[in-house]
Structure 1
Amino acid sequence: MNRRLIYVVGPSGAGKDSVLSWLHQHTSKSTPVYLARRTIDRLNFAEPGAQDHERVDAATFKQLVADAAFAMHWDANTHRYGIRHAELMRLQDSTGCVMVNGSRAHLPTAARDYPGLTVLHITASPAVLRQRLLARGRESESAVEARMLRHIPLEVDAACALVEVHNDSTLDAAGQQLLIQLEALGLWPLSP
């Protein structure tokens, strides 16, 4: 069982990075929770508040895949994302969790490779998602509407635990939802 691997999914605009940042800020230094650093094939992207990541060009990413450098990798929203093997090494310890900010489309593969993982689905209402995507200003209104129409069903393997957080109001409310559900699964509070 890989219950301590928490695979985070949700639509763009749901506030995944914000909720994970909130969790990090409300986690004591002795609580072993680690957010796996992603490798992304985009060199010219930086957004305030976004998760720290390794930037590489497309050719380098392709070579890393060929060299089996990733424990998992996927394509989403015109980019490629990978999690290096070293990022998941903490699962070999007897305590703590590793969180991977992943992709809904890659979830079946992740669940196959890490049976029993915990799926953290962070979402929001369509109106809130649309508002947040437009406020980011990264895409045109028509591109935001196209993104809103794209639907990837969330299929969670029966062996996996599912935690759902609705981030429609305040960040504190979403963070508290997350803590309550992690505690119910026995994943929080974690012993040092």
Structure 2
Amino acid sequence: MRGRLIAVVGPSGVGKDTVMAALAAARPDLHLVRRVITRAQDAGGECFDAVHPTDFAQRRDAGGFSLSWGAHGLFYGIPASVDEVLAGGQDALVNLSRGVLDQARALFQPFVVLSLVADPHVLAQRLAARGRETADEIEHRLARKPDMPVTGADVISLHNDGALDRTVHDALAALYPARV
């Protein structure tokens, strides 16, 4: 049986990478996909492979990514090696942009979306703690028009503004109901 690609989505600061790491710790059989990003390696946050935009384009053009996209002035890629993981029957967690969900749905089956949401005050605290943006940039980010909710039969929506253990429990119960 083919593994599922589990796309973890949500606004900046919602805790996608923290939740993914905790899910993988709770379920060592889950594969964490390491994205390739045209961002400086010392930018912090998730574990990723930093590449120069020229190198990214070469890898993309050579078929090195199953999925790639641009957002916020950066390019992101999901290494083609994820296809082998899924073909081997292992589920894989990946931090995806909400803007590429339809493309991902067309490429990966089975496919599940874990959509995380949190209170704006929690998002502001988390964004400030990560130190990538000034207070004014955070305020501007949070003042933007809210994103449309992620919907679909393949979407599991969870609040992640409480205890991490609760979010992980709820995610595992939704993803693996027979095992929780």
Query: TM (normalized to structure 2)?
Result: 0.88
- Consecutive unaligned residues in structure 1, runs of 5 or more: none
| In structure 2, C-alpha distance between the alignment counterparts of 1:3 and 1:123, rounded to whole Å | 25
Question: What residue is the counterpart of 1:134 in the other structure?
Answer: 128
Deviation string for 1:153-177 (max 9, x for gaps)?
244444xx21122111111111111
Question: What residue is the counterpart of 2:52 in the other structure?
Answer: 57
Q: How does 1:77-116 map to 2 (within 5 A)?
A: 77-93=72-88, 95-116=89-110
Question: What residue is the counterpart of 1:71 in the other structure?
Answer: 66
SS at match of 2:31: strand
Query: CA-atom RMSD, angstroms?
Result: 2.2
Report how many aligned residue pairs link the two structures: 179
| In structure 2, C-alpha distance between the alignment counterparts of 1:109 and 1:14, rounded to whole Å | 23
Cα distance change, pair 76–59 in 1 and its aligned pair in 2 (3 A): same
- Given that 1:167 and 1:174 are in contact with CA atoms closer than 8 Å, whether structure 2 keeps it comes out as yes
Q: After superposing the two structures, state which structure 1 stretch, 172-181 or 141-150, moved more.
A: 141-150
- Given that 1:88 and 1:98 are in contact with CA atoms closer than 8 Å, whether structure 2 keeps it comes out as no
> Which amino acid is 1:125 matched to?
D
2:117 counterpart (112, 117, 123): 123
Query: Does residue 144 of the first structure (1) align with residue 141 of the second (2)?
Result: no
> Which amino acid is 2:74 matched to?
H
1:40 counterpart (34, 37, 40): 37
> Which amino acid is 1:165 matched to?
L
| In structure 2, C-alpha distance between the alignment counterparts of 1:151 and 1:57, rounded to whole Å | 31
Query: Does residue 19 of the first structure (1) align with residue 19 of the second (2)?
Result: yes
Cα distance change, pair 18–6 in 1 and its aligned pair in 2 (3 A): same
SS at match of 1:14: coil
By percentage of residues, which structure has more helix?
A: 2
Which 4+ stretches in 1 moved above 6 angstroms?
Answer: none
Using the aligned pairs only, state the percent identity: 34
SS at match of 1:165: strand
| In structure 2, C-alpha distance between the alignment counterparts of 1:150 and 1:85, rounded to whole Å | 34
SS at match of 2:42: coil
SS at match of 1:99: strand
Query: TM (normalized to structure 1)?
Result: 0.83
| In structure 2, C-alpha distance between the alignment counterparts of 1:13 and 1:21, rounded to whole Å | 15
Cα distance change, pair 182–56 in 1 and its aligned pair in 2 (3 A): same
| In structure 1, C-alpha distance between the alignment counterparts of 2:5 and 2:51, rounded to whole Å | 25
Cα distance change, pair 154–105 in 1 and its aligned pair in 2 (3 A): farther
Cα distance change, pair 132–43 in 1 and its aligned pair in 2 (3 A): closer
Query: Does residue 176 of the first structure (1) align with residue 173 of the second (2)?
Result: no
